[in-house]
A and B are shown apart, each in its own frame.
Chain A
């Protein structure tokens, strides 16, 4: 089974702190994603990466950065945490498959519930 592991299930950080969220996948997937999920809103893409050292901004990249030094690991960084970054953060990975082959579904980690106080 594909496994996507996020380093923490729950985190509480203070405003202004630098926060690192780590994600590791064990299925050699090319694509990795960071989303945040808030009540009443769909999953919103923060950043994604389709290869080592490659990164692309998603819909809401402001206040975040990412790092992908190894294929299996994708880190999300909050440079200076703010209370409006309190959210559930979900990491996902997927194959770089051809559309229509049904192999491009994303596999998610268990999520990190971050509270910034």
Chain B
């Protein structure tokens, strides 16, 4: 079967760095997405990786290793507004998105 695993919850301190991991087993691979979802709101797109390596976008970076079925989202200089759930999703060989359950990130002052 297809499976996306990510930690349920993480806690970090304002100003620090946090890494949210995602491992996947899917039927084929056509890219991995990270989304941010604040409580009660819709998910919003953060990043897309289809090749191995690191993609940097401001305070957020996303890494992919296809051979290991592994990705992480790195958030630097954490701010209180970064408190949200972070969703990992993989596009499979049928171009369908397979979603992880999300990681709830709690930022403490």
Contact = CB atoms under 8 A, between A and B. Distances in A.
A58 B96 CA distance: 9
Given A90-B43, A104-B91, A105-B45, A42 B31 contact: no
Contacts of B48: 102, 104-105
A43 B96 contact: no
B96 A45 contact: yes
A81 to B, nearest CB: 22
Interface residues on B, range: 20 to 34
B31 A110 contact: no
Contacts of A48: 96
B97 A106 contact: yes
A107 interface: yes
A42 B99 contact: yes
B12 to A, nearest CB: 21
Interface string A38-56: 0011111100100000000
